Amino acid sequence: MEFLRFLSQYRAPVLDALFQIITVLAQETVIVAVICWLYWCADKRLAYTLGFSFFASGLCVQGLKITFRIPRPWVLDPDFKPVASAVDGATGYSFPSGHTQSATSLLSTLGFSTRRRGLRLLCVIGFLAVGFSRMYLGVHTPKDVFVSMAVTLVLSALASALFRRIADDRSKDPIISIVLAAVSAALLLYAQSLHRSGVIELAYAMDCFKSGGAGLAFGIGFYLERRFVNFSLPGSLRIRILRFAAGIAVTLVLQTGLKLVFPGTLFFAAFRYFLLVFWILVLYPWIFTRLSLQKNF
């Protein structure tokens, strides 16, 4: 808390706006858009690596959140005031930082994928900037940020090493799918148990069910796509842009529409995120592959 109070002395409207913009780069929609572009149009192996890093670290972070149940800084110290514009986006428990996890999984995976030192340095600066922005805005403590970075970096490094090794080897696909699906199911059961016993409120369990549903879809979808769909990347930039634009448009419609249609229960929160990730991983690739759209779409 002392470090947050120190930073709060230097707040100014222009810095508030700058760090709010930086923290937005770690939003779920941004990460999903990057994964979609890589997966549908650019580099499937890198997309799988990023997806595994993102979902696995997200499951771990959500599990840690509901285990330690550490409140936000302004709850720990009622005299401390965060930047007001950042409060609405600061949901769930404080430890570890979800925004830091998202940014670190994205940028560290991209960094591990290149040998260019300049790009690696930019990636490191990027996720450090997001972590710092969470502290400047007063919504996370240094412990929240650095534990999140450490957990995510380990999983990102493991994912990068794993997918380099199995790029063209499908023999390990069932193991990867089962492990990720099992971890996702474990988080769902854990969150449900804590919620039923009154330990955590519905909103905190909801975040876990979203992560669990998404992780479950990635685990199952990874296996199904590699075994039965196995789509190829488009050759021309025009077709890549067309494929991405159509796919991301439907993804955004689903992201908003399913939320309006489904009840706000834990089961439907998990089911909604399952459908969203399953669309990205399996259903959309199946459409442009099986319906003779592979060459033109």
pLDDT at 297: 57
pLDDT at 102: 95
210 & 78 share domain: no
Residues 6+ apart with CB under 8 A from 152: 53, 57, 61, 100, 101, 104, 105, 108
pLDDT at 92: 85
Mean pLDDT of 265-285: 95
Mean pLDDT of 169-192: 92
Cα–Cα distances in Å, from 109 out to 19, 44, 269? Answer: 23, 13, 27
- Which amino acid belongs to residue 5? R
115 & 181 share domain: no
Residue where a domain stops, chosen among 138, 164, 190: 164
pLDDT at 121: 95
285 & 269 share domain: yes
Percent over 70 (pLDDT), the chain: 97
Mean pLDDT of 171-188: 93
294 & 235 share domain: yes
150 & 208 share domain: no
Distance of alpha carbon 177 from alpha carbon 254, whole angstroms: 24
115 & 209 share domain: no
Residues 6+ apart with CB under 8 A from 120: 111, 114
152 & 174 share domain: no
36 & 154 share domain: yes
Please, what is the angle between helix 98-112 and helix 142-165, to 10°?
Answer: 40
**Mean pLDDT (the chain, rounded):** 91
pLDDT at 178: 94
151 & 182 share domain: no
Residue where a domain stops, chosen among 164, 193, 216: 164
Residue where a domain stops, chosen among 164, 189, 213: 164
120 & 213 share domain: no
pLDDT at 163: 87
Distance of alpha carbon 179 from alpha carbon 185, whole angstroms: 10
The model carries a pTM of 0.91
* Structural domain count of the chain: 2
Which residue range is the domain that position 131 belongs to?
1-164
- pLDDT for 132-175, tens place per residue? 999 999 999 999 999 999 999 999 999 999 888 876 778 888 99
Mean pLDDT of 264-291: 92
pLDDT at 54: 95
197 & 241 share domain: yes
- pLDDT for 9-54, tens place per residue? 889 999 999 999 999 888 888 999 999 999 999 999 999 999 999 9
Q: How many residues does the chain have?
A: 297
Least confident of 54-68, 161-175, 235-249: 161-175
pLDDT at 296: 55
- pLDDT for 112-133, tens place per residue? 998 899 999 999 999 999 999 9
User: How many separate helices (H) and strands (E) can be counted in the chain?
Assistant: 14, 0
> Which structure tokens are listed for 288?
């442009």
> Which structure tokens are listed for 176?
């990867």
208 & 148 share domain: no
Distance of alpha carbon 79 from alpha carbon 75, whole angstroms: 9
